[in-house]
Amino acid sequence: MKSCLKSSALRACGSIMLLLGLLGTVAVPPAPRITERNYQRYFDRYDLQGSFLLLDAATGQYTAYNLPRCRQGFLPASTFKIPNTLIGLETGAIRDTTDLCRWDGVKRSFPQWNQDMTMARALRVSCVPCYQQLARRVGAARYQQQLPKLKFGRMQVTPATVDTFWLAGPSRITQFEQIDFLQRFQRNKLPVARRSADITKALLVLGRGPGWTLRGKTGWTMQAGHDNGWFVGWVEQAGKAYFFALNAEPQNGGPAAANFIQGRRAVTEQILRQEFGLLPAAAHQ
């Protein structure tokens, strides 16, 4: 009798250990495959320093320049307009992107912002005041409900920071996290209505031609004289998707100039074209 009990206990223990082993295997995702490259020459053309990350979705292969920096968190700036548009549509804060953003009469340094405009145009010209109006309509409580579902970096929002939390404060997102979000968005794996996703994707189209489409969004934060910029998005070409995230700053911490403003997208497109054979020569419009 004792022998039977001992044998049963051993079998039960063995089953538990096997189950724990299987659970442990499932819980640990495989490490991403990353190839490191040096693309500083592209940044040098625009007096920039920074990092670049690309994911070939078909193979799961990442290519990184300045890998430690690709893992460093930065404020998302206007790249947050992508999830912000989705949240606005999902919560009913905007009915669609033809909704009008009324100019508040305050003249700002970007003249294209000093007018009434649709939310569609507000995203295209990256109008911060329009999206701040949207943020106040959404409210901190609904952001706190929606943001964990989207898993867009580590956003921190309170009632006091509801219209600035993506531009200042402790919110952060890495280039890996940007690409993870964009990949789920592109594959319709976000917990949002298909209508919201399709409307937002249409606004992100920057160029297209036979067999290819480029979607993306820039971002720019200015903190205590320090400028930081983004260009994130994806290329669909020949039936495949390639996701990218660039983060850059002026070399030597100097003030942003035309090179910084143009360079975020220009550096990205040159790398995509010359290193990966993506986009035709006239893709940048």
State pLDDT tens for residues 222-244: 887 789 999 999 999 999 999 99
Active site residue 78: yes
Q: What is the pLDDT of residues 171-199, one digit of tens each?
A: 999 999 999 999 999 999 999 999 999 99
- Give percent of the chain above pLDDT 90: 79
Confidence band of 17 (pLDDT split at 50, 70, 90): very low
Average pLDDT over residues 65-69: 98
Among residues 3, 51, 78, 196, the one annotated as catalytic is 78
Mean pLDDT of the chain: 89
pLDDT band at residue 23 under the 50/70/90 scheme = very low
Q: What's the CA gap between 37 and 65, in Å, rounded? A: 5
Query: What per-residue confidence (pLDDT) applies to 18?
Result: 45
| Residue 100 and residue 118 in contact, taking contact as beta carbons nearer than 8 Å | yes
Nearest CA to 173 out of 125, 245, 227 is that of 245
* Whole-number pLDDT of residue 9: 46
Whether the CB-CB separation of 247 and 74 falls below 8 Å is answered with yes
Work out the percent of the chain whose per-residue pLDDT is above 70: 88
